[in-house]
Structure 1
Amino acid sequence: MSFGRGANDCRLHELVFRVCSPMLLNNNPVIEIRRVGSNLFLDKHYFPILSLSTPPPMPMHSPASGDNQAGQGAFDVQIGFPDLQLFRNSKYFALLSYWLQDCDCNHSQCARTDDAPIPGRPLLPTRLIDVGQGDLITGRGSTTLRLIVTAAIPEDELKADARYIALSHPWGSNRDHDHFCTTRLNLDSRVKDGMAMDSLPATLRDAVVVTRALGVRYLWIDTICIIQGENGDFNTEAPLMETVFSLAHCVIAASSAGGTSSGFLSRQRSSRDFVTLSQKENHHGPDTNATLYIGEVIDNFQKHVIEGPLNKRGWVLQERALARRTIYFTQWQTYFECGAGIRCETLAKMTSNQAAFLGDPNFPSVALKSSKGARIRLYELLYKSYSALEFTNPCDRPIAIAGLEQRLVKAFNTHGGYGVFDGPFFGRGLLWKRDENVPRNVMRPIEVSLHKGSYYVPTWSWMAYEGVITFMDAPLDTVEWQHGTKDGLVSPWATLPEPGDTASPSASVIWHTGKTDEHTVLKAKAREFSVPLSKVETKIVYDAGETPRKDVGEVKCVIVGRQRMSESQPIPSTLLPHYVLVVGQRQKSDVRTEYERLGVAVLPGDWIDQGGGGKEIWIV
């Protein structure tokens, strides 16, 4: 019987024939299909054609140790549903609960770890929403939600259950979406009288439904739990996102929503073609059926989540990286990500270096296990990806990654801020540049909005601009960095004690972004070019994409690093590549001469006047 004809006589054969046909270049009557875990692959192809799953145990109790990722029954495949369940079906939420229970029981790396400032009282966000209780099937339950100040929650209630869920979602435009913001005008009413469930826009209301269905009492939503607008507390609350998302029981991401009024629990879901196979399993007990589902592969975490609309928001990268585990609600699938990997309703497990880095429940522990070079490439990838994201308010750019930057500063055991780390990472961090591969990409200075904070972001930081960045491709081990008091390029934090300095027991790592009481200037030695500027400009990547403005004074360069001479291939030092910041004079004063960053370049050493000590300047 030929492969094609057999499809008319067997439902499984028909399914295999349909999914394989587009990949077959000839009419070969024999094909080879191999199984890897819970997926089936066509020979010599790298993407699965079908996935295998077995139904979850009902009712779902807390999984025993060892159930992690593996399925139940005789088939040794992952647990999942053959078809996508309706969002408000009890079986659907039973699976989400099972994911969380399995993670709680078997993934020690995903456990919540925090040092509460008050012993015995867990660390919580400033405000939370008490969602009350509701019945998923009948829809009956509490019709009023209350905004509560967590410091006022009684001790006995916290001991009973202090878990909360955090929502990651897009706001959408004011024109199309009701943001339902808490302001100084309605704060007291929301605390004392509560909020009607029906008054919430669809996305926020769906978040309440999910929170109740997962058996969690408290919910954190930024639009409600942070006081927005005039006299709000955004400035004090935004830097606390590191704890809000990392300590949440889980994060729910409204990946399919376009804004607060869109919702993410749609009534209709796409169907999936599958075949059910059953067999008697005597060793499982009398009259026990072992069921196996074979279905189309309909999961694509990269496309549905990483490349999805929600992940284009600037705030979301940090929310994903800080979360211990996240449930993503997309229009195709629901995905679960934690420190053990990624699952979906068909429970295909997907992994990648980037997914492991951002899905790390103890970010950035994955990076710290890597070599120094790998760490550098990972944080460069992080900042490059972040710079391409969208902001409703561009002035949020320095603070929407604050939680991640604080974690990195601590992990690297150094001082840092504004996208740059002190110590061995300092020079390389200054050598960011406008990504020339992005069409029409220029670095536009961000005007800081007063209600978001009036701190100054220095011109040497990419956080001061809109636009996509990348980093200069400086070799990892053969560059002599020229920063420090001796070489003249001095970081703003050079006068602070080194972390771990035994002579200064109070010394510790410090995150500096947004600190209004600090100076953010770089002290440097600027040098003239020994060739005409018109020649140098062929090598310069200007941040603005063009030559300096007319109001910019003299243009000079600051040497950040130079290529180390090779013993095997000696090259005159005058020809070795030099990695430089290009700066322009901003203003003159009796105290100092201030310069601003204009761009970066790699120049031969003999293009730079290196005689004398250079001109002492301040890059602001």
Structure 2
Amino acid sequence: MNDAIDTIWRAFLPAVIAASLLACLRVGLALLRPGNQNAVAPTINLDNLESEDSLADRIAESLLPSDFHAPTREYLPEPQISRLITAQSIIYQLNKFEDELATKLRGPSSDSYGGFMQYDCKYRTELAQWISLKAPKLFAIVVQCELDHIKFVLAMRLFRQHQFCDTKLPVANPSKHIDLFLTKIWSRHKLRNFYERQWRVLVPVFSPLQYNHDLDSDCIFPFDLIKSMPKAGAFSSVYRVRIHSEHQLHEGLGDVRPSHSIISQTITQLEGIADALTNLHNYRDGRRRSLSGNEGSFMVPTINVDQADIPVVPNVGADPYNEDELNTPNSVSIRHGDLKPENILRFTVEEDSSLGTLKIADMGLAKQHVLKTSDRNAKRLITNTRYGTQPYEAPETITAKYGLSRLYDIWSMGCITLEFIIWIIYGNEQLTSFYNQIAGGPQLPYQYYEIPDANEPTHAEVHRVVLKWIDHIETQDPEFSQDSALKDLLALVRDKLLVVRLPASSVSSRSGGRTLAPPALGGASQFRATAEEFRDALRDILARTKHDTYLFSDYSLPPLKDWQFPVDNRFAEQVASRISNTAFNPQHKKTHNLCNRCRSLKFWTGGFSIDDYVSSLLVSAQNCDFCTLLRDARREDDSQATDQIRFERKESNLLLTGDPFPVLSIVRVLEARLTRHFQIGFPELPEPSTPAFFSILNTWLDDCNANHRDLKNKNRDCTGVTKMRLPTRLIDVGTIEAPRLRLVETQAAKLDKSNEYIALSHPWGDTRKYIPFRTLRSDPRSHHDVSSFKNVIPEGELPATFRDAVICSRKLGIKYLWIDSICIIQGEDGDFTDEAKYMEDVFSNAYCVLAASRAYDQRGGFLGQRKQRNYVTFESESGEPFFVCEPIDNFNKDVIQGALNKRGWVLQERALARRTIYFTETQTYFECGCGVRCETMAKMHNGMADFLGDPRFPEKAMRDDSRALKIEYFQGLYKQYSRLNFTRYEDRPFAIAGLERRLRDAFDTKGGFGIFDDGDRTQLDNGMFHRSLLWKRGEDDIQETLDGKDPVVEWLEPIDFTSERNIQVPSWSWMAYKGAIDYMDPPYGTADWETKEIIPPWTQGRRARDYPALLDRDIGLEVIVRDFNDRERTTASDGRRAQCVVVARSKEPKDERQKRIFVLLVTATQISGMGPKLYKRAGVGVMLGRFVTLQGDGLSARVL
């Protein structure tokens, strides 16, 4: 019956359509007849229509193209599924059922919908729970099919009823599952949609745990096709593709901590590989020639040699590189030729957690030689197979004229070993960063050497990026500040492996071999080592690994992090909804000149890059606006830069290859198709003080209020305040409609229920050059006193910075404002000392902080005009405009390294604030616990910057279990703070008091004045008290003399704490002095801390103080003072002779006289009379025990 009806309908359908079209045509013609005076063109009012932000739209926006397929197909990356299909989004989608059902029940067919009342809120909640656990991908597929809301719930109900979940996908033919896909719910069109769109979420994730994949022909691969010619074989073609990072899992590639075991095992295995190469390189007489005496280490199959082809060369003395041993019949040398990590296989034993055994594999490019390289050069015999894997190729692949030496393999091992060192110290993320930085131009995409001058193609040098990394590791990383296995291994790489120059016997000057450059770094080795030398050097390192501290000192910095710029268009859409859909269009239309190359660029394609030459750009930039941007974006300060240059697109930015920071930004308008993966943003920023500008600021705060309240993860909770102590005074700014300006006492005044206020962070500047606006206890002349300000603060007299803060507070809808110079009574009779105790509460409880980063003092202001950036307009193939702009999203430069953040007070203000709005010269930034947002609409994230952006400082820094890293963190924080500036240096103890108290709580210690007292946990806690005492003058404060010989060491200048500050800071605290500090740190695990001859005041039973002591001259260290053999008769700044206090002894298994002793240097201030012997700190030092008078009881004293 149904088939008959279907046949009739198909036959009748064309007539029905024709009749309908004819009727419409008649009506249209009637309306258009000249005689119809009443005809009015129909109008549609779109202003009242609201665009719905549906889940289907968000899924569509998150789809990525896979151009591996023809035509291009789209897929949803694996992480986006969990991001989009959440418990909240499932409930929200299911609850739309209720609104549609209510509409149906009011309609003419209400009776047929009465049975659906059973799917109430409780049922939908249960259904949502099942979907979240069992069927998130199935849910995402059905969302994309766009069923009406009632049918949607019914469809998911049937899936649950039949236990049809994600594990049952894919569905080969939905129409055959008649019990699941009812025709009343699923039309043929919808079924087709289901089948096609299921592949978007069923994209394979490749893992080492699954080698074989049986995939449907309709499966979408998460590949970006790299534009290169496919390699064709007899039965198939091989394409080069890039797999989406979230669709490939790597076993064992997580960041690991260095350990004695890993380092020892790795060096042992490297020694085994070097021994194998020694045998491979010195194969002789058809048998393995063992140079190591280890008969089981390596075997090489016999190689047949045609003796007629072997020339006899006179033996003229022994060749130290063993090349001359290839001068006799039946002597051959074998070069592997393709050493790389993939060709070093790891063999493990089941249930054995050790590294296992490493073995060289893939001898496919191994090459046998019956002549040493120099003789092949002399006879002009060219090695047939020259190239291995490009990243690990030695420079002689380009520079050698005729032959390749066996030392080619040694270069490859240098590359591999350096990668291991970077990985073991910094982890995968920094190793990836190293790869990205070393990548070269189109002809040298990734190699450890470079040709610096295109005019000398045979002159090679170690790549400058490699040299910079080696130099950084050696000079900056604490692990390399003492003797260690990794330090020696890095020196081996630098001096013997990654050496361009070969011995004369390998590349002969007599035969036209090129002269290769010696290494630029260190220069300790003239020539590259042989395999035998490589092996012997590793054996020397292994011989010293009996001591754990030589293997690893457990003193590594937290991993370095690059800034990340994730695309986040949902927030930009919120901004557009407040302003207008055209908000991101440039205000000033510009016409841009483009060359033919730039006009055809397709930025939206996967793996997009631009390859060029600097010399070419200098010419093309004269007539092309985009070439001008590219020219200006190149590294001007890199004097060693080659002529080749490459720009690569990463998300919505262009990066120079080898540089982790964007050099150009890409932004688009709201509506887009091909370019939807670009960041929506402003090519031209709104003018400050305009409604559009303040809409952005308000949206930042509203978004943070709505989405960053996470009680489970407090590090992401930017809004919650557990305790609320209001500042003593606030400024009442009124509202936009009813402005006012007066000072209120918070305890006496009746404030609004929310108690919300904004705090201003600003520079005072040089107050010797102007009179600052401030509140005084009494001011009969200007009436800037607390009593007058309670009545009214004259807004016309406010300096520009304060006036702008008032404007912002009103525009943000916050009635109260805190400014230090107004809300704290200044002057000698002021209450700064009392108020400074609560500075932590002022900034941590503020609704937000306004940071006047661009202001130079109170008069500077921060809402002034800003220079607009340059940009070039492009259009996609579908006519969508997008813009490539100068990069101004540089939080590190504009904020962290800006003038305001060089002020001592600002470090604490930033760390304690829940969220801060920074007003800089280029743009405005918003920082909270979830990262940094830019006014351009870009989003920035950096793991290290997160520490000070932590709304619950220092919880993020305390996540790591390593006490050593926590010590390094507080030392780094204090070193940074000590380098900041103060208008009044007597503020130094106060401006960090809040941070110090939080750190003490986090460390569970007592202490004060920059010193932590860990009590009887000293040995367990790596000597936190003792390490914090061993501060010294900062290295950057030591000036070199003009002749470059002896440094000029200036004494740290004591701070004169005025009576107004009412404090006394002990001499053993760095807070008592001006200037930068560093720390004299014994390597971790190498020191025995002295606990009897130096006792902190808190361990003595004294009360731990939260703030600097009030004139407490008895805050002293109980110490034993000893003499030391001082041939130079060291004296302190006051001329007194120095003595010492023992802080630590090295754990070396030596006599006490041979151990290193870490000491405080002290000088006497009171040693006569019956009272206590009093000393003050004069410095720190380290000396051998034989120079310290360790015998006897010493002198009991106090260091104040």
- TM-score bracket relative to the smaller structure: 0.7 to 0.9
Output the amino acid matched with 1:494.
T
Which residue identity does 2:858 align to in structure 1? T
Letter in 2 for 1:446: I
What amino acid is aligned across from residue 170 of structure 1 in structure 2? P
Q: Which residue pairs with 1:599 in the alignment?
A: 1179
Aligned: 1:396 with 2:999: no
Q: Name the counterpart of 1:542.
A: none
Is 1:438 the counterpart of 2:1037? The answer is: yes
Cα deviation for residue 239 of structure 1 reads 1.4
* 1:562 lines up with 2:1152 in the alignment: no
Q: Deviations over 1:182-233 (max 9, x none)?
A: 1112111111x21122111111001111111111111100011001113211
Correspondence 1:584 to 2:1163: yes
User: What is the alpha-carbon distance in structure 1 between the residues aligned to residue 898 and residue 601 of structure 2?
Assistant: 34
Per the TM alignment, residue 334 of structure 1 is displaced from its structure 2 partner at its CA by: 1.2
Q: Which residue number corresponds to residue 164 of structure 1?
A: 757
Partner of 1:445: helix, strand, or coil?
coil
1:73/1:180 CA distance change after superposition, 3 Å: farther
- Aligned residues with identical type, % of pairs: 42
Offset of residue 47 of structure 1: 2.5
**Structure with a larger share of its residues in helix:** 2
The residue number in structure 2 matching 1:429 is: 1028
Q: 1 CA distance for matches of 2:1006 and 2:800?
A: 43
Aligned twin of 1:338: 928
Aligned residues of 1:11 and 1:275 also touching (Cα < 8 A): no
Which secondary structure does the structure 2 equivalent of 1:534 belong to? coil
Other structure's SS at 1:52 match: strand
- 1:517 Cα deviation after fit: 5.3
* Distance of 2:979 and 2:824 partners within structure 1: 26
RMSD of aligned Cα (Å): 2.9
1:477 paired residue among 1081, 1085, 1092: 1085
Q: Distance in 2 between matches of 1:72 and 1:231?
A: 66
Q: Is the 8 A contact 2:1157 2:1185 kept in 1?
A: yes
**2:842 aligned to which of 234, 244, 254:** 244
- Matching residue of 2:745: 149
Identify the residue that residue 104 of structure 1 maps to in structure 2.
705
1:141-540 superposed matches below 5 A:
142=739, 144-154=740-750, 157-159=751-753, 161-185=754-778, 186-191=785-790, 193-275=791-873, 277=875, 292-370=882-960, 371-423=962-1014, 424=1018, 425-440=1024-1039, 442-453=1051-1062, 455-483=1063-1091, 487-496=1092-1101, 510-516=1105-1111, 519-529=1114-1124, 531-534=1125-1128
Aligned to 1:88: 689
Q: What do the CA deviations read for 1:577-620 (whole angstroms, capped 9, x no partner)?
A: 11110111111241211111111001111111111222111101
Give yes or no for contact 1:177–1:261 (8 Å, CA) kept in 2: no
2:861 alignment partner, SS class: coil
In our comparison, the structure showing a higher alpha carbon Rg is 2
| Amino acid aligned to 1:364 | P
Whichever residue aligns with residue 694 of structure 2, its letter is F
CA distance in 1 between partners of 2:707 and 2:1100 (Å): 46
Q: Distance in 2 between matches of 1:12 and 1:85?
A: 28
> Within 2, Cα distance between the matches of 1:327 and 1:394?
27
Could you list the per-position Cα deviations for residues 97-127 of structure 1 after superposition, in whole angstroms to 9, with x for gaps in the alignment? Answer: 11212222222324344444xxxxx431111
Q: Distance in 1 between matches of 2:907 and 2:828?
A: 27
Q: Deviations for 1:155-185, whole angstroms, at most 9, x for unmatched residues?
A: xx532x3211100001122344442111112
Distance 1:8 1:359, change over 3 A: closer
Point out where structure 1 has 5 or more consecutive residues left out of the alignment. 58-70, 117-121, 136-140, 281-288, 498-506, 538-546
For 2:649, the aligned partner's letter is R
Amino acid at match of 1:534: E
Residue 152 of structure 1 aligns to a residue whose secondary structure is coil
Q: Deviations over 1:250-286 (max 9, x none)?
A: 1111111111011111134333324265798xxxxxx
* Contact 1:490/1:522 (8 A) holds in 2: yes
What pairs with 1:64-143 in structure 2 (closer than 5 Å)?
75-108=676-709, 109-116=716-723, 122-134=724-736, 142=739
The alpha-carbon distance between structure 1 residues 464 and 557, as it changes in their structure 2 partners (threshold 3 A), is same
Q: Give the letter for the 2:627 counterpart.
A: F
Q: Distance in 2 between matches of 1:113 and 1:614?
A: 55
Q: Secondary structure at the match of 1:248?
A: coil
Return closer, same or farther for 1:49/1:512 CA change in 2, 3 Å cut-off.
Answer: closer
In structure 2, how many angstroms separate the alpha carbons of the residues matched to 1:56 and 1:373?
Answer: 48
Q: Distance in 1 between matches of 2:766 and 2:602?
A: 47
More strand by share: 1
| Secondary structure of the structure 1 residue equivalent to 2:1095 | coil
Match of 1:561, SS state, is strand
1:143-163 Cα distance to aligned partner (Å, 9 max, x none)? x30111112343xx532x321
Q: Which residue is equivalent to 2:481?
A: none
- 1:73, 1:496 → 2: CA distance? 70
Whether contact under 8 Å (2:674, 2:876) holds in the other structure is no
| 1:18 and 2:659 correspond | no
Q: How far has the Cα of 1:130 moved from its partner?
A: 1.0
Does residue 1:48 correspond to 2:646, yes or no?
no
CA distance in 1, matches of 2:699, 2:674: 17
Contact residue 1064 and residue 1112 of structure 2 kept, 8 A:
no
Distance 1:345 1:182, change over 3 A: same
Q: Is the 8 A contact 1:445 1:464 kept in 2?
A: yes
Quote the Cα distance in structure 2 between the aligned partners of 1:269 and 1:592: 65
Give the TM-score, by structure 1 length: 0.82
Cα gap change, 1:277/1:236 in structure 2, threshold over 3 Å: closer, same or farther? farther
Give the counterpart letter for 2:666 in structure 1.
L
Q: Shift in Å at residue 301 of structure 1?
A: 1.8
**Unaligned ranges ≥5, structure 2:** 1-593, 604-623, 636-640, 710-715, 779-784, 1019-1023, 1040-1049
Could you tell me which residue of structure 2 aligns to residue 502 of structure 1? Answer: none
CA distance in 2, matches of 1:73, 1:176: 57
Paired positions, count: 550
Q: Kindly indicate whether the alpha-carbon contact (under 8 Å) linking 2:598 and 2:626 is maintained by their aligned counterparts in 1.
A: no
The answer as to whether partners of 1:336 and 1:343 remain within 8 angstroms in 2 is: yes
Rounded to whole Å, the distance in 1 between the matches of 2:646 and 2:979 is: 43
2-structure distance, mates of 1:563, 1:202:
58
Amino acid at match of 2:797: S
Residues 48-89 of structure 1: CA deviation (Å, up to 9, x unaligned):
1322335689xxxxxxxxxxxxx9997244453221221112
Aligned to 2:841, what secondary structure does the other structure show?
Answer: helix
Secondary structure class of the residue paired with 2:1128? helix
Structure 2: distance between partners of 1:327 and 1:442: 39
Deviation, structure 1 residue 573: 3.2
TM-score (norm 2): 0.44
Contact conserved, 1:322 with 1:362, CA < 8 A, in 2?
Answer: yes
Secondary structure of the corresponding residue to residue 1083 of structure 2: coil
User: Per the alignment, do residues 350 and 614 of structure 1 end up closer, same or farther by CA in structure 2, a change over 3 Å counting?
Assistant: farther
Distance, in Å, in 2 between the alignment partners of 1:52 and 1:510 is 53
- Alignment deviations for residues 517-564 of structure 1 (CA, whole Å, 9 cap, x no partner): 5831000011111x33418x5xxxxxxxxx424552x42111111111
Conserved? CA contact 1:114–1:123, under 8 Å: no
- Rounded to whole Å, the distance in 1 between the matches of 2:1134 and 2:797 is 54
Which AA in structure 2 matches 1:562? R
Deviations along 1:437-481, one digit per CA (max 9) or x if unpaired, are 32455411111111122x211110111111111111321222111
Q: 1:351 to 1:578 in 2, by over 3 A?
A: farther
Q: CA deviation at 1:359?
A: 1.5
